[in-house]
Structure 1
Amino acid sequence: MPKLKTRRAAAKRFRRSGSGKIMRRKAFKNHLLEHKSTARKNRLSQKTVVHEADAENVEMMLPYL
Structure 2
Amino acid sequence: MPKLKTKSGAKKRFKITGTGKVKYQQAGKRHGMIKRTNKQIRNHRGTDVLFKTDGDNIIRFFLPNS
Pick the TM interval, shorter chain.
0.7 to 0.9
Structure 2: distance between partners of 1:46 and 1:19: 19
Question: By percentage of residues, which structure has more helix?
Answer: 2
Q: Which runs of 5+ in 2 are unaligned?
A: none
Q: Which runs of 5+ in 1 are unaligned?
A: none
Give the TM-score taking structure 1 as reference length: 0.78
Q: How many residues align?
A: 64
Structure 2: distance between partners of 1:53 and 1:19: 15
Q: SS where residue 45 of structure 1 aligns? A: coil
The C-alpha deviation readout for 1:5-60, integer Å capped at 9, x for no partner, is 10000000001234431101111111111021222212112211111111121111
> Which amino acid is 1:11 matched to?
K
Residue matched to 1:42 = 42
Give the TM-score taking structure 2 as reference length: 0.77
The two structures, once aligned, show a CA RMSD in angstroms of 1.9
